[in-house]
Amino acid sequence: MSLRPEQIKARQYLDQKGSRLTAAQLRDRVGAAFAAIEEALGSVEAQAARGRAIPGEWSVQEVVDHLVETHRPSIAELRDLLSGRRPEGPPIPAGLQSADPMAPDWATLVGELKALQREALGLLGAVPDGYATDARAPLVMVINVKEPDGSETPLHWIEELDWKAYAIVFRLHVLDHLSQIRKTLAAARAGR
């Protein structure tokens, strides 16, 4: 199967901005993304988090629920990789959410996200520079691609990642959803 140019670009990014970085550089980059989303969520009130400002799109609460639900197994998989083991089971589903994303208390949900992010940074902070392992983990990659008619559609595929590329995906995932949160909040403000 031939790869689309977007897939080749994604692979190059994961190699250059993930696999080739030191453990300290990875921790700093992931930590900066975590800090950015935590800062953005700090000013979001529960009512605003639950509002659906864009039809067909997740609310801010649903986005945070998704991050919590994906961070949990991702941390377990990162722990496996750092122990030199391939994680068991299939890759984490791309659209993973809890059974009832709107049920948790907003402050509790944000607190859980922060705790998981601290845990991920703790794992990365404990990795000595130069650590290497041949272990790989399958990860569902999702990127938006332009179709010949100019429309955008999501492209999904499974990529086998080393621990560094896997770790940098935390950054990409959080920053992608931070953009989604900002877009949702801006739409809510514009709709008032």
pLDDT lower than 70: segments of the chain: 1, 192
Which DSSP helix (H) or strand (E) runs through 100?
none
Residue 164 CA to residue 97 CA, distance in Å, equals 25
Report the CATH number at residue 57.
Answer: 1.20.120.450
169 and 81 Cβ atoms separated by less than 8 Å: no
Q: The tokens 């509790």 sit on which residue?
A: 108
Query: Domain limits at 21?
Result: 5-190
Q: What's this model's pTM, rounded to 2 decimal places?
A: 0.94
Confirm if 181 and 37 have CB atoms less than 8 A apart: yes
The residue among 15, 26, 54, 62 whose CA lies nearest residue 188 is 54
Question: So what's the pLDDT on residue 190?
Answer: 86
Instruction: Tell me the pLDDT tens digit for each residue of 35-83.
Output: 999 999 999 999 999 998 888 899 999 999 999 999 999 999 999 999 9
pLDDT computed for residue 192 by the predictor: 59
Number of domains in the chain: 1
**What tokens does 154 get?**
């999501």
